[in-house]
Amino acid sequence: MFGQTAVGSSANTPSGSRMFRYEVVGLRQNNQTDRNNYSIRRSGSVFITVPYNRMNEEMQRILRMGGKIVNIEPLGNEVSNGAGKSAE
């Protein structure tokens, strides 16, 4: 039909519903605050959650802002080794 698109259909795929968390250090606020002699954030790390289909765009944005990705971890339905098993 006219006007219908496939936007949002990626959530129906196994990879489309996966979420990831980036741990980023060295992220600048903007050009003005980057000139300050003091840091804006107390913590060194910022956590950014993104869907699988936006990972590449978010990586590029983080790098353009001067950040460094130090960790990427999947969120959601991870299978944990032995967690939740009761001893018999």
Name the pairing type of β-strands 68-75 and 45-51: unpaired
Low-confidence ranges of the chain (pLDDT < 50): 1, 3-5, 80, 82, 84, 88
Residue type for position 62? I
Residue ranges covered by each domain of the chain: 18-75
Residue 76, pLDDT score: 82
User: 18-75 in CATH: which number?
Assistant: 3.30.1490.170
pTM for the full predicted model: 0.59
